[in-house]
Structure 1
């Protein structure tokens, strides 16, 4: 049985603001090829999906990355798990990173690499997205996926309302990774940071650019997500990529597009024509290629990656790209 990946929004919950409520969804998430573990306790949560309350914005503060180039090589991908916690909240964090060999705890490759903090969906875990996250690491990014204590698969006290605490968790994980003497601190470039996430993790990611703004972040990737408490985007300009299926009945396309339209910075939206809440099959290749080129441009300043974005989005003929990365 495939895991039931639920995203329960917070509309109507005390203090929750504008988070949208959603129906449950069964299936594998972005990059979750081969996931076989099942949820024994998750049950469908039926609610209507609402569009974001955020007002549409013009692109008034473009993001300008520093000029540079992304690595031309494809790296071997190392993997390790770090023991991280914040105020008693356990946040074990899985890392995928450019390495000298494809092995657990392999030495990191020579160089300094951008960091992408990835947030999983409700009743998921970072390893479910390994295909996507390893793709980014292979392209020259350190990817960190914390397992959130109350929204992950197997959580003892599953609590969707705990999403509101996750942006602070994510920022704390970044703090720990940048601390001098950490296992990968020497190879992470602290000036090139991004956040990404799927579903509930997409809401968490939006929060890092709005209500819980982490001003160190230069770029964000929101996969099948929506807004965080109806709070406007704030802080210095960043580049934002949204990926959403037009047939998503968990977080509606309308709700995702409304958040895209509220970003005042450089932005793009990849719309999967027949896509639902999860990315599988040919949809995966378009999503992986587009997000990788976006990160190469936003964090490395690679002009070639910027020019390749339309071609990446067109792979398989399954999606369209609204490109406002001015």
Structure 2
């Protein structure tokens, strides 16, 4: 697994993007990872690298209004991030066919997913909703997020929700209400007593449940891996730590 950095642009909005990808030859699905407020691609390197090692190209943009170096910082700019994310997806997919690119021949351009945490979870929801729906998405993971851009729309797309029931930053009810309204194949991983972000890092039982469940879901939704799908419920269920519900 290695990484490369690019700077893309959408309507004058600079989008520094780090792309992690497997070193082994082959074509891999693309996952767009969106950071939370005051975040960056590097802040989420631990979970992103786990995804990449599992057989994915992961593109992580630094959103211009909400990243850790944004000046001025503007939390309301999250509304512009789904369109940014779609633009990054388009630019990264082009690199698969670009001679001399480190990503040439490495991306399965028909298999695209999205994931994100906090404001990045909202951004991911926006990619599934209303005017900012990205029809290329085959699966999505919303961690500690909620609705953005209205109801989910377009073709049925599997969605995994991850949320701590003691989240003091984004209420558990925000994620749960979006899950409840979703009529697509879906799963919800509840972290019992879980806060906003701790389970994205480290080797705690909660962090292990999150990483295994996210990887199982991405393998299922982007690779059609039925073995991963069959593992998902068991790996998402840890007594006193995590519980799972859904129809995946």
State TM-score, norm by structure 2.
0.93
What's the counterpart of residue 227 of structure 2? 304
What's the counterpart of residue 178 of structure 1? 93
Aligned with 1:256 (options 162, 175, 181): 175
Q: Which protein is richer in strand relative to its size? A: 2
What's the counterpart of residue 116 of structure 1? 31
Instruction: Tell me how far 1:232 sits from its aligned partner.
Output: 1.1
What's the counterpart of residue 68 of structure 2? 153
Conserved? CA contact 2:127–2:134, under 8 Å:
yes
Conserved? CA contact 2:192–2:240, under 8 Å:
no
Q: Secondary structure at the match of 2:211?
A: helix
What's the counterpart of residue 201 of structure 1? 120
> 1: distance between equivalents of 2:104 and 2:66?
27
Give CA-to-partner distance per residue, 1:56-104, whole Å, 9 cap, x none: xxxxxxxxxxxxxxxxxxxxx11111121112111010111111xxxxx
Instruction: Tell me how far 1:317 sits from its aligned partner.
Output: 4.8
Q: How does 1:21-170 map to 2 (within 5 A)?
A: 77-99=1-23, 109-170=24-85
> 2: distance between equivalents of 1:127 and 1:317?
31
Conserved? CA contact 1:282–1:316, under 8 Å:
no
Instruction: Tell me how far 1:213 sits from its aligned partner.
Output: 0.2
What's the counterpart of residue 105 of structure 1? none
Q: How does 1:236-255 map to 2 (within 5 A)?
A: 236-255=155-174
Conserved? CA contact 1:271–1:320, under 8 Å:
yes
> 1: distance between equivalents of 2:216 and 2:125?
20
Conserved? CA contact 1:202–1:222, under 8 Å:
yes
Give CA-to-partner distance per residue, 1:106-164, whole Å, 9 cap, x none: xxx21110010000000011111111111111110011100000100011110011111
Instruction: Tell me how far 1:183 sits from its aligned partner.
Output: 3.7
State TM-score, norm by structure 1.
0.71
> 1: distance between equivalents of 2:5 and 2:240?
37
> 2: distance between equivalents of 1:270 and 1:87?
37
Aligned with 1:270 (options 182, 185, 189): 189
What's the counterpart of residue 288 of structure 1? 211
Instruction: Tell me how far 1:302 sits from its aligned partner.
Output: 0.7
Aligned with 2:108 (options 189, 197, 208): 189
> 2: distance between equivalents of 1:286 and 1:313?
5
Q: Which runs of 4+ in 1 moved over 4 A?
A: none
RMSD: 1.2
What's the counterpart of residue 324 of structure 1? 247
Q: Secondary structure at the match of 1:92?
A: strand
| Structure 1 unaligned regions, length at least 5 | 1-76, 100-108
Instruction: Tell me how far 1:271 sits from its aligned partner.
Output: 0.2
Q: Which protein is richer in helix relative to its size? A: 2
